[in-house]
Structure 1
């Protein structure tokens, strides 16, 4: 091997295929190996090894079992004949050691002498030395941005990604970083972070100005904001926002403890970072089984209450079908989170990651995990490489049954997850939520009614198809699904199969069943109010407010995914909904419960418009993701809903005519 040969990085499979065609066999080719590119990397590796036997193929990444017996099986089942070495643990130093060794020795002579470099030798033995010691100071690793290695990837499609620290002090069994190896947190010097962010910002500036790129930054830290150094990182991000107009949104998981420190850091980039309260579950038994005892769930809940002061949105994460879970426990967690006031709940199915404790055979047996296989959304394709067609699809293993959650309960929870994502997340029906909360009604009661009340035909169709596709995407046998997926790659690429169901069906609800959904939201709200004796007579002022509010939110969402300029929509305004929401933010529940405080003396007119800036933002994302429900569903995970929904403006007209102070009474 000649170390003088240039090093190249590849993100796109097509670019790697072109390089192999043009340049011939590389000395060494290394593949990252994650859940989202495992089969793709294996397909390339198999072809490279078959066509270029002299090339050394190296894999590295977390998609690798923890225990030696399972690692041996993994080599037999997936790696043998395709991969020469697998780097376990951190890759930078171990991979460098391997390259230096291969410069002096033939790869067949390397048998377990390099920490972390596993290889299955011709003698039938898996040589698996322990991982190399962790890197204690991340700045010892040169920055690929500052070295210019990432310049070609500023193409308007990819999102710049940085890491300011690595490791996690928590021990969650479902996470690869929950293992002992990653318990220590290694940090990067603040000067290198500053240089990287400004380097990126200078290159993003023109792309963002012309609407040619997503105005985002991804930080891959596991607990951002929890460490003192993160405060300085946020100040640098704020500098970049002022100098370059980038980033508008910072996607990052904020810290699970140290609430005040997290809030202080996030306040530096007001509104760019959403505070996360990733509880996964709030049931004590479930938390104990997944080793989250050292995470203060109560403090996570407090994040929602303090977020408005930091100028940040909030979201929490919940995983369905964790060990010890049940339908009641899952719905109970959702209730506590919406009652705490989180803006958005991200709901996931439990995926078993090979590098996690939960994926081991012993853990599965102990907790009674029953799993199925599915194709991962967006992780499939067909590629021409060295004159051959490679068809690949990535699969993940999801838990669908635990002892106290039969599959039917799992299915019902998924439907509730969809309704919550569609009606609650992002303040889709914010005025209705404000009214409910003012009367001490949990939003979960409203969502439960939305699930059980009669649905209009368009909404009923969407929900029925969601339930059917939930069943249809799950397979018992991994090999059978892999064969099917590679034979039907075109259908997956076209968006007819393999979609993220929550994202896709949320989009379908907005685009295909919006009228039914707004009507259901209003009826469920009125039913919940009547259950406590409010508006029981029908035709009341509060009913007029609820109906107008539901229609208001329908118009805000109408036709927002059209690529051509949509028409201006109008509504008669009998209530001042902006003032109502401002009153809710001030927590003035007594005033909020009297609808006369928000009634216009004479009706006005609202206009609902999409601004040119919003249309440019939408065009940028739709061009990249497409206009299918699947593509738009992805869009909704990348932009904030308030940034793309219609703006509301009132025509000049009368103000409100509130009741005299002290005379208002709730309408019942």
Structure 2
């Protein structure tokens, strides 16, 4: 019997680890291990002492002071190597600790699970899929074997797998049924399990249901066992909403709430009631200000009600992935019909609801032409945001299986995951994503063509920095996608600052790829490269270059886009004064932007609360009319007041502090991933006042940026 077993009760540390080496977010509450702790507390009571951790440094510190009997780690694509290195460190110091991992980041096919587990020399057991009952089954065997790990490894354990070195095989127990009555799992919030995490700047999240009915080949959510969905009790979820809001009101560490469902809105009436609760809480307590979730795929009528209730709190995602029928068949995806989607978009526009259309680049059967035509069609449909993800192969997903890759000619490369690196316990850890770089139907250069285009779409259309300009161009039967391609293809005519920016984007987008994960780790392990990472030099390029443009060369970018727009429109033989119109639109959109370029971590930053300017067109009314009419129908001198209300200033302060880092670009790009994007822009109203710029003494407290 080892020394750990002599304790009066069994001590378990669960960790849902994230890399917090640079910055502190955006990270979610560790709700996954919270559910497991609440379940174990219910079953074992005082027989166990269970502690939860989010950050590796805190976990290592506690292990050194008070080693546990059992260490359990949740295993995802964004923390796998951190887990592996942490287990290496723990076993070198405390070999008696039983080490366990669980989570979806593993293939369960016999040949592939063996390949994975035999490499994990410091891992004792892997709980397959079912966290709560799976860990109970493991604990039962642990107590049955008198806490003897070696004796346990002579057994077959339900929901658990481990590698037997002597037999050179994986020993895996049968899988127990999925819990259908989720009420048996106590609430991690209402039982106080999550209370300690409100003191940090984490984002509260919760599940209202579990499962996903869709078996998409690129995803791991729709596992066969989880295609039949189960719901947590309604009244309990309602209580959790109120509980979370009360706690956040006390700490004021975030204004974001995440619903971690696979298809929010799939239970239309129930989810509508939840949306009413969130709306009520936001109106009364200013929380949540932003709600993030994954939306139901084919429930348009229910989604309308829910989205209308949430309003500006949420943007509705339409996960299309592709508009190519052959692709959809190959990935086993059943999309909303285009007619239904168009009708949904019209409803969203008419009611001022933000929406997203999600596409994935690099899917089987997708060609350069089919993908580009889909993007053009989404522009013509006036999709709210057009978000294009690069196809990523996940452990556990069918698409990453060898035969699937071979059938579709899938070739991949590896890229570092943004902020997912650090040094912990003396080990450097790097997380990477395996991305599709070519298929039978799209070459690597064709995929690369879309890289800059994706950024320009996000910057100009999605974030609405130039949405008005694109809509004006569209009125001349020029698809905005073709305008953005022209922006890409005429770099030599751009101001030198813009040329430099776009060339740097090309270099960065090519330089972030590695043929193997080993090459990636070797590269970033070099001290010079690691220092660049520490200083925020690597990030998601779409976000990084959006804010690099806004802070480094906004005026030059305005000039360049205006020039390209005028050149394209001139070829349409316009009869109206399009040049003045383009200049007015760009001036208006420039005035809308909150200017962060003066934000200095060493000084206080004063922000313009109010400013004024005169225009030749009522651009604001044109925008509020959803750009449906010709801008020239709004001709006439008008003055506008651009201003920031107090709640928006407070929200900006909250987001800046939540995602603080010594690197300004890092802070802006990370906070923009979760904040309400409209907070990046001034409010506008018409004004008869003479032009003036007013500088108020509102201060962003940038001293909190220092780490």
- Alignment TM-score > 0.5, same fold: yes
2: CA distance between counterparts of 1:48 and 1:354?
A: 25
CA 1:122–1:618: 2 relative to 1, 3 Å:
same
Find out whether 1:580 has 2:622 as its counterpart: yes
Counterpart position of 2:22: none
Runs ≥4 residues deviating over 6 A = none
Counterpart position of 1:166: 210
Among 95, 115, 131, the alignment partner of 2:175 is: 131
Counterpart position of 2:124: 84
CA 1:507–1:49: 2 relative to 1, 3 Å:
same
1:355-407, CA deviations, whole angstroms, 9 ceiling, x for partnerless residues? 10011111111111110111110111123x4xxx2321111111111122211
Q: Secondary structure at the match of 1:436?
A: helix
Whether contact under 8 Å (1:87, 1:117) holds in the other structure is yes
Q: Secondary structure at the match of 1:177?
A: coil
CA 1:176–1:300: 2 relative to 1, 3 Å:
farther
Whether contact under 8 Å (1:112, 1:119) holds in the other structure is no
Q: CA RMSD in A?
A: 2.2
1: CA distance between counterparts of 2:103 and 2:684?
A: 48
Find out whether 1:427 has 2:464 as its counterpart: yes
The 10-residue stretch of structure 1 (194-203 or 151-160) with the greater mean CA deviation from structure 2: 151-160
Counterpart position of 2:50: 7
CA 1:301–1:170: 2 relative to 1, 3 Å:
farther
Residue 492 of structure 1 and its aligned partner are, at CA, apart by 1.4
CA 1:526–1:66: 2 relative to 1, 3 Å:
farther
The 10-residue stretch of structure 1 (133-142 or 366-375) with the greater mean CA deviation from structure 2: 133-142
2: CA distance between counterparts of 1:609 and 1:261?
A: 36
Counterpart position of 2:34: none
Among 289, 294, 315, the alignment partner of 1:274 is: 315
Find out whether 1:543 has 2:579 as its counterpart: yes
Find out whether 1:101 has 2:145 as its counterpart: no
1:538-570, CA deviations, whole angstroms, 9 ceiling, x for partnerless residues? xx5332111111122122225245441234655
CA 1:484–1:431: 2 relative to 1, 3 Å:
closer
Q: Secondary structure at the match of 2:294?
A: coil
Find out whether 1:625 has 2:665 as its counterpart: no
CA 1:307–1:650: 2 relative to 1, 3 Å:
closer
Unmatched 5+ residue regions in structure 2? 11-46, 600-604, 691-707
Whether contact under 8 Å (1:504, 1:633) holds in the other structure is yes
Counterpart position of 1:362: 403
Whether contact under 8 Å (2:248, 2:254) holds in the other structure is no
1:224-254, CA deviations, whole angstroms, 9 ceiling, x for partnerless residues? 1121321221122123223422101100111
Higher relative contact order (CA 8 A, sep 6+): 2
Counterpart position of 1:195: 239
1: CA distance between counterparts of 2:194 and 2:83?
A: 20
CA 1:584–1:236: 2 relative to 1, 3 Å:
closer
Whether contact under 8 Å (1:565, 1:615) holds in the other structure is no
Residue 649 of structure 1 and its aligned partner are, at CA, apart by 4.7
CA 1:580–1:309: 2 relative to 1, 3 Å:
closer
Counterpart position of 1:485: 524
Whether contact under 8 Å (2:471, 2:480) holds in the other structure is no
Whether contact under 8 Å (1:604, 1:653) holds in the other structure is no
Residue 56 of structure 1 and its aligned partner are, at CA, apart by 0.7
Counterpart position of 2:545: 505
- How many residue pairs were aligned? 630
Counterpart position of 1:391: 428
Q: Secondary structure at the match of 1:223?
A: strand
Whether contact under 8 Å (1:560, 1:644) holds in the other structure is no
What are the equivalent positions in structure 2 for 1:553-592 lying under 5 Å apart? 553-557=589-593, 559-560=595-596, 562-563=598-599, 564-567=605-608, 570-584=612-626, 587=628, 589=629, 592=630
2: CA distance between counterparts of 1:192 and 1:344?
A: 34
1: CA distance between counterparts of 2:489 and 2:399?
A: 35
1:135-164, CA deviations, whole angstroms, 9 ceiling, x for partnerless residues? 213222111111111111113511001111
2: CA distance between counterparts of 1:303 and 1:560?
A: 35
Counterpart position of 2:499: 460
Tell me the TM-score normalised to structure 2 length. 0.85
Tell me the TM-score normalised to structure 1 length. 0.89
2: CA distance between counterparts of 1:653 and 1:240?
A: 37
Whether contact under 8 Å (2:256, 2:675) holds in the other structure is no
1:293-323, CA deviations, whole angstroms, 9 ceiling, x for partnerless residues? 3654553454322213554200121111111
Unmatched 5+ residue regions in structure 1? 655-668
